[in-house]
Amino acid sequence: MSPLQGCLLLSAALFSVGLVIALARSNAILVLLGIELMLNAANLNFIAFWRFHSGAAPATGVIFVLFAIAVAAAEAAVGLALVIALYRHQKNLRLQEATRLRG
């Protein structure tokens, strides 16, 4: 197994764990954190390819990750603000109860 494959497998596993957290836990904050984990897994892939795979310009992977981190920060800020708004509406954070937009 090459280092690249190892990294990709780690990333896949991390992604799955994030997915499981997001799917299984009912607390909205934890769901958000699971999504953050998935994003981290994606970033991990970028770095892995940047390091172990010949390709584009030398700094592309790093820059990609930097942008991804910044976007993730923005996403988390908005997400947590949404969580607070959600809490103000239904006095708890159980995501399965936030079904007011059901068709």
Partner 1 sequence: MTFTFLILAVIILGSALAAALRPNLIHCALLLVVSWLGVAGFYLWAGAEFVAFAQVLVYVGALSMVVLFAVLLTRQSRAELRVDAPETRRAVWAVIAGVAVSGVIGAAVFATKWDPAPVTAPEVTVRGLGLELMGAHAAALLLLGVLLTAALLGAVVLAAPDRPEKEEKS
Partner 2 sequence: MQLSATHLWMIPALPLLAAAIGSLTPRGGRKLAAGAAIAAMIGAFVLSCGALVTALAQPAVHASANFTWFALGNEVVRVGWLLDPLTAFMAVMVTFVGTLIFIFSLGYMKEDRNFTRFFCFLSLFAAAMLGLLVANSLLLLFVCWELVGLASYLLIGFWFHKPAAAAAAKKAFLTTRIGDLGLLLGLLWLYHVRGSLLCYDGGAGVLEQGSLTALAGTTVAGGFALSTAIGLLIFCGAIGKSGQFPLHVWLPDAMEGPTPVSALIHAATMVAAGVFLVARVYPLMLADQALASVPVHALTVVAGIGAITALLGAAIAVAQNDIKRVLAFSTVSQLGYMMLALGVGSWVAAIFHLLMHAFFKALLFLGAGSVIHAAHHEQDVRRLGGLGRRMKATFATFAVGTMALAGVPFLFSGFWSKEAVLHAAHAWPVSSLPLLVGLAAVVLTAFYMTRLITGIFLGAPRTDAAAEAHENSAVMTGPLLILAACAIGLGFIGTPAWPWLQSNLGGIVVEPESIWEAPGLMLLSIGLVVTGLGAGWAVYGRRRNVNASSVDPLAQAAPGLFAVLAARLGFDEFYAATFGRLNTWVAALADGLDRRVWDSLVSLLARAGEFSGVLNREADEDILNRGFDRTSATVRGVGQTYSRAQAGETHGYLRTVALAFVVFALVLLLGGVR
Of 64-103, binders to partner 2 (CB under 8 A) are 95-96, 98-103
In the complex, minimum distance from the CB of residue 103 to partner 1, in angstroms, rounded to a whole number: 21
Taking CB within 5 to 8 Å according to partner kind, which of partner 1, partner 2, none is near residue 100? partner 2
* CA–CA dist 44, 36 (Å, integer): 12
Binding segment (CB under 8 A) for partner 2, from list 22-30, 47-55, 60-68, 74-82: 22-30
| Whole-number Å distance between alpha carbons of 79 and 82 | 5
Binder of residue 67, out of partner 2, partner 1, none (CB less than 5 to 8 A by kind): partner 1
8 A C-beta contact, residue 32 and residue 76: yes
**Distance of alpha carbon 47 from alpha carbon 60, whole angstroms:** 10
Interaction between residue 32 and partner 2 (CB under 8 A)? no
Closest CA to 37 of 51, 50, 24: 24
Q: Which residues make up the interface to partner 2 (CB under 8 A)? A: 19, 22-23, 26, 31, 95-96, 98-103
